[in-house]
Amino acid sequence: MALNPQLVLDAAIRHLDEVGLDAFSVRRVADGLGVRIGALYWHYKNRQALVDAIAARILEPLTLMEPSTDAWDVRLCRFARAYRQALLSHTDGARVITAISGPGPMGHAFMAIPVKVLCEAGLPATDAAAAADVLTSYVNGFTIEEQNRKLGQPEQDRDRGFEFGLTLLLDGLRSRTTA
Amino acid sequence: MALNPQLVLDAAIRHLDEVGLDAFSVRRVADGLGVRIGALYWHYKNRQALVDAIAARILEPLTLMEPSTDAWDVRLCRFARAYRQALLSHTDGARVITAISGPGPMGHAFMAIPVKVLCEAGLPATDAAAAADVLTSYVNGFTIEEQNRKLGQPEQDRDRGFEFGLTLLLDGLRSRTTA
DNA sequence: ACCTGAACACCGTTCAAGT
DNA sequence: ACCTGAACACCGTTCAAGT
């Protein structure tokens, strides 16, 4: 069976889910595929490229969300929740995102979602970009901490904490929009 | 000259500032001290203990802020800004904080600051804790991104982005307090 | 108590050589 | 085109042995 970037990425994600980002090792990914380590370097330039690919895979579901006709604040909430869930769906998912070497095409498609919603809400383009940064920064920061230290805590409590911050941001944004 | 935890920590921070967290190496810290690597393990149990110590050093200035009689929102803003500045004062400072093995005494003293302010603002204890988590999560997330990718950007722009989010959170909090 | 010397088991990366 | 074999320069950690 021939190796290809897809299969390597699948194995990498399995390995990440098992051991977490700190113990994530290109060599172990090769082991999981029953292949010598040099083989992976044919499909991915280096470890960073593999991490970037994992990050893109994590963000992909968000860029595929179906468009909605709901109010902008409802859509922004849905985006933030879906983003957190995407990060939570893999071990250290939030830290993986902050370990990307740069925002690739997927990263740009991802950020375009909240920016678009906020523009439609009537925010000036520059404010929309800033607000989108704030929102994703919050989700990143919250979920990093959540995956680092709060996974023993009941899901309901963690959800409540997240929703509290989301509400604060949304309230602040509503008072700055015209729509 | 005898080695001690202080000197090791100083050298570790110098090394961190030079190469960043990813390239941070216990061996290089030993090199910087002109000492064999085994020597460091007498003063620090392992690499993680050294990172924890760096994090505590970064947070220390905040726990030493002089008490203030200003309004709660002014104090909370001041705390958030000082926290961001503390993180920015060392290479990858924000990522160092999220790499702590656990909240030590310094971490607890640190979190007590915003919690206290928010309690005095009239928030129920449980809301105060949640809001403090939200605020620090935001600062962490924002500053990680800032140190990862925005350090080329003018400081004024980065400050503006940060203040935007801070204002949103503060506005949201004000509508939930009695004081 | 504090440090050296030396080893151990691991990394990521490269690259000629095979097929 | 794709993978193996083998090397290289690095890690963190341990621990007997020295002082």
Mutate to test the interface with A, among B100, B123, B168, B169 (most CBs of A within 10 A): B168
- Whether the pLDDT of residue A179 is over 60: the answer is no
| Protein-proximal nucleotides of chain D (any atom < 7 Å from a CB) | 2-7, 10-16
| pLDDT of amino acid A177 | 83
- Phi and psi, residue B35, nearest 5°: -135, 160
What integer is the mean pLDDT of A95-113? 98
Q: Which domains does chain A have, with CATH numbers?
A: 5-45 (1.10.10.60), 56-174 (1.10.357.10)
Q: From the CA of B27, how many Å to the C1' of C3?
A: 15
Q: pLDDT tens for residues A54-86?
A: 999 999 999 999 989 999 999 999 999 999 999
Q: pLDDT tens for residues B98-112?
A: 999 999 999 999 999
Mutate to test the interface with A, among B92, B133, B166, B176 (most CBs of A within 10 A): B133
Q: How confident is the model at residue B177 (pLDDT cuts 50, 70, 90)?
A: confident
Q: pLDDT tens for residues A111-165?
A: 999 999 999 999 999 999 999 999 999 999 999 999 999 899 999 999 999 999 9
- Asked if the C-beta of B118 comes within 8 angstroms of chain A's C-beta atoms, the answer is no
Look at residue A38 and give its three-state secondary structure. Answer: helix
The span from the CA of B101 to the CA of B97, in Å, is 9
- Whether the pLDDT of residue A35 is over 90: the answer is yes
For chain A, the straight-line distance linking the first and the last C-alpha, in angstroms and rounded, comes to 55
- Whether the pLDDT of residue B121 is over 60: the answer is yes
| pLDDT of amino acid A120 | 96
Q: Mean pLDDT score of chain B, rounded to an integer?
A: 97
- Whether the pLDDT of residue A47 is over 60: the answer is yes
CB contact under 8 A, B175 and A171: yes
Note the helical H segments in A34-149.
37-43, 47-63, 72-88, 93-98, 105-120, 125-149
| pLDDT of amino acid B150 | 87
What integer is the mean pLDDT of A4-32? 98
Q: Mean pLDDT score of chain A, rounded to an integer?
A: 97
- Whether the pLDDT of residue A87 is over 80: the answer is yes
- Asked if the C-beta of B140 comes within 8 angstroms of chain A's C-beta atoms, the answer is yes
- Whether the pLDDT of residue A178 is over 80: the answer is no
Mutate to test the interface with B, among A96, A138, A146, A175 (most CBs of B within 10 A): A138
Query: Tell me, what DSSP letter sits at residue B55?
Result: H
Q: Determine the distance in angstroms separating the CA of A135 from the nearest CA of chain B, rounded to an integer.
A: 8
* Closest residue, chain A, to B148 (C-alpha): A98
C-beta of residue A62 within 8 angstroms of C-beta of residue A113: yes
CB contact under 8 A, A167 and B168: no
Comparing CB atoms, the residue among A130, A141, A164 nearest residue B138 is A141
Burial class of residue B73, CB neighbours in 10 A (0-12, 13-18, 19+): middle
- Whether the pLDDT of residue B81 is over 60: the answer is yes
Comparing CB atoms, the residue among B144, B161, B167 nearest residue A172 is B167
Angle (deg, nearest 10), helices B47-63 and B72-88: 140
Set of chain B residues whose Cβ sits within 8 Å of the Cβ of A141: 136-142, 144
Q: Is the CB of A38 under 7 A from strand D?
A: yes
Q: pLDDT tens for residues A23-34?
A: 999 999 999 999
- Whether the pLDDT of residue A18 is over 90: the answer is yes
The closest nt to A48, taking CA to C1', is C12
| pLDDT of amino acid B91 | 98
- Whether the pLDDT of residue B179 is over 60: the answer is no
